[in-house]
Amino acid sequence: PVASDPMMFAAYLAGQLKKVHFGFSVTSVPLHSPVRFAERVNILDQLTEGRLLVGVGSGTTPEEMIGFGVNYKEASAIAEANLAIAEKLWAKQI
C-alpha cells in the first residue's frame, strides 16, 4: 500500500506540496532504530521546511509488535529508551 512507509511517502510529497503541513498521528518508536528514527525525522523536517509534526507512541497491539519481532511486554520501555537516545542526538549529546 501507498502508506506502508509513511515517512517515505511524506518525503515524496514534500517536494510537490510546498504549503502542506505533514504529520504522523503515532509513530511506533519500538519498531525503529533510534538513530535511524532521528535521521529520518531530521530529513523530513528539512524537506518540509519545518512543516512536520510527529506523534510518538509505544505501539498499538501485541500482534503489531510480534510481527516486527518486538516483545510487546517491553514495548513501552523500548520506546522510552529509543526516544531518550533520539533526544540526545537532537541535542547533539553523546
pLDDT band at 3 (very low <50, low <70, confident <90, very high): low
Q: Are 21 and 69 in contact (CB under 8 A)?
A: no
Q: CA 89, CA 35: separation in Å to the nearest integer?
A: 8
Residues 41-67 pLDDT 10s:
999 999 999 999 999 999 878 888 888
Residues 6+ apart with CB under 8 A from 45: 52
- Please give the pLDDT value at position 84: 97
Give tens-digit pLDDT for 4-39: 788 999 999 999 999 999 998 889 999 999 999 999
Residue 1 burial by Cβ neighbours in a 10 Å radius (0-12, 13-18, 19+): exposed
Specify the pLDDT at position 2.
Answer: 60
